[in-house]
Amino acid sequence: MIDDVTVPVALGKRSYDIIVGENLIARSSSFFAPFLRHPRVIIVTDTNVASLYVHMLEASFDAGGIAHKTIILPAGESTKDFANFQMLAESILAAGIERGTTLVALGGGVIGDIVGFAAAVLLRGLDFIQIPTTLLSQVDSSVGGKTGINTAHGKNLIGAFHQPRLVLCDIQALKTLPERELQAGYAEVLKYGLIDDTAFFEWLQENGLSLCRGDMLAQQYAVVTSCKAKAAIVAEDEKEIGRRALLNFGHTFAHALEAEAGYSDILLHGEAVAIGTVMAFDLSARLGHCPSDAVSVVREHLRQVGLPVSTVDRPGVKWSVEALLGHMGKDKKVTDGTITFVLARSIGEAFLSSDVAHEILVGVLEDGGAL
């Protein structure tokens, strides 16, 4: 059994720990106890995760004397909308909650985002705890307090910053993750190496395939390293006024791609990030910021672990440059009508820039990340 590792997120009175280990769901009540104002929680999960881990979590709460109610939402990105949020909010309120009630997000990024948003707004603020069950949510979305839902205008455009009280990353949960989901999460792991940690990128070149094939020690190392990187950035820039925007590397393209794909299973978030990452490096190279061979190295690494690297890899969508530009114009990083991009000078050095010629951007979108 691998040892638990604790990663602190230093935010003053809102500080919390990320615990990365094995069989944490089965041991959850012992971790929860110090953070519950009342021994009662509302568990929110989805149809995929419920059959795998709800009974294990409920058994732990029963053993620890923690009362609980479980709400199960449909699985998938389409759940992050107004209709499902209203249904969730009404269900939580119908359970007779108080301000001392804690919400528990058991699932991937979709569940963490929508439950976190519910915690931010119900009764003007409830505590919540994250138990992310996907690689993507363990290394990214469960940490940092970003919560929200999607609209027809774009991804995560309605939400709030609301930090969890605790994050439990159970590496054991990754064993039941479909290969495609594990690969999708890997795109967010790779991001940390690309923006400011060349040594981590080099480690991923050696160990990325093992990670995606289920090596638990490699998975724990990647989750811990990613969480440490994100915790440091969030502690410095909680509300994304400056440096935290670097964590959006590839995401301006990715969110547009997801929107154009209709937030469907045709293109998972991590897959969109993979394509967006290649596009970001391609744009950087065309602007003269980084060498073109960096684009090739990143593209080949993503392809090696089984991720799509261009829109050509998803022929089921009729990709439109005009539509993608429209989605990008609604990005949260737009200021005075100008998009701020996260670009690269090299692998391991990212920076922010709004100085991007329109015709060069159009060229990147036309090629879609392809050679």
Rama region for 240: left / alpha / beta (φ>0; ψ in -120 to 50; rest): left
Of the candidates 92, 173, 165, the one whose C-alpha atom is nearest the C-alpha of residue 129 is 165
Catalytic-labelled residue, pool 124, 318, 322, 358: 124
Cα–Cα separations (whole angstroms), residue 105 to 1, 53, 238: 25, 12, 21
Total residue count of the chain as it appears in this document: 371
Annotated catalytic residue 153: no
Catalytic status, residue 240: yes
Instruction: Say how many CA atoms lie within 13 Å of 283 toward its Cβ.
Output: 32
- Encoded tokens for 255: 């969110």
**Does an H or E element contain 276, and which?**
helix 269-286
Phi and psi at 50, nearest 5°, equal -55, -45
Catalytic-role residue among 27, 155, 255, 333 = 255
Number of Cα atoms under 13 Å in the Cβ half of residue 232 = 9
| Residue 82 structure tokens | 């107004």
Pseudo-torsion of CA 189, 195, 200, 201, nearest 10°? 80
Pair 166, 16: CB distance under 8 Å: yes
Distance CA 322, CA 187 (A): 26
- Is residue 146 part of the annotated active site? The answer reads yes
Q: Which is catalytic among the residues 27, 238, 248, 299?
A: 248
Distances (CA, A) of 199 to 101, 161, 205, 293: 43, 31, 10, 18
Distance CA(335)–CA(245), nearest Å, equals 13
Q: Tell me whether residue 248 is one of the annotated catalytic residues.
A: yes
Name the catalytic one among 155, 191, 230, 299.
230
User: Among the options 22, 77, 238, 240, which is catalytic?
Assistant: 240
DSSP string, 182-225: HHHHHHHHHHHHHHH-HHHHHHHHHHHHHHHTT-HHHHHHHHHH
Out of 22, 77, 181, 188, the active site residue is 188
Contact 273, 250 (CB under 8 A): yes
Tell me which of 27, 40, 80, 251 is the catalytic residue: 251
Q: Is 269 a catalytic residue?
A: yes
What are 47's two structure tokens?
A: 């149809």
Residue 244 is among the residues annotated as catalytic for this protein = yes
Q: Catalytic one among 27, 40, 68, 146?
A: 146
- Residues with catalytic annotation? 124, 146, 188, 230, 240, 244, 248, 251, 255, 269
